[in-house]
Amino acid sequence: MLGSESILVMNQKISKARLKSLCETWFGDMVKVVVDIEKECAGIGGDLHADAELLLLQEGSGPEALWGINFYPWHEPDKRIEYTALINIRPHQDNPSMEILDEKAKEKVRRIIESLLLGADEKLV
């Protein structure tokens, strides 16, 4: 675990208590996350996706591997991840939208989120 007190860079599973605390700190029912699909880590927290993106870049992540999402841990598993963020707008990577359009990238993000934050068979209580 790296990062500041309020934005974490994780490469291993976060505790449910810490995830709940991050959600409550930032937006109440959700937290912004930036996922590095190459290093399989994530920056969690911040007012903007760019806040976590900066920490990941400082830790050596390449910008082309970083994708922003909003994570809603209290939603049903298939509705927890919202694949939209301003940092995702990358016409040079065939992603002219805030939404992640590449299905392979989306799948990598989902897999990493489930391994680091909350698996599909887990609930945040």
Range of the domain at 35: 2-116
Strand, helix or coil for residue 3: strand
Instruction: Indicate whether 124 belongs to any domain.
Output: no
**Alpha-carbon torsion angle 68, 115, 58, 67, nearest 10:** -20
Spatial separation of the C-alpha atoms in residues 115 and 108, rounded to whole Å: 11
Instruction: Indicate whether 96 belongs to any domain.
Output: yes
Count: domains in the chain: 1
Write out pLDDT tens, residues 104-124: 999 999 999 999 999 999 998
DSSP-assigned letters across all residues of 65-116: GEEEEEE-TTS-GGGSEE-B-GGG-BGGGTB-SSB---HHHHHHHHHHHHHH
Instruction: Indicate whether 125 belongs to any domain.
Output: no
pTM (whole model) above 0.85: yes
Q: What is the mean pLDDT of residues 68-76?
A: 97
Instruction: Indicate whether 123 belongs to any domain.
Output: no
Instruction: Indicate whether 121 belongs to any domain.
Output: no
Write out pLDDT tens, residues 8-52: 999 999 999 999 999 999 999 999 999 999 999 999 999 999 999
Instruction: Indicate whether 50 belongs to any domain.
Output: yes
How high is the pLDDT of residue 2?
43
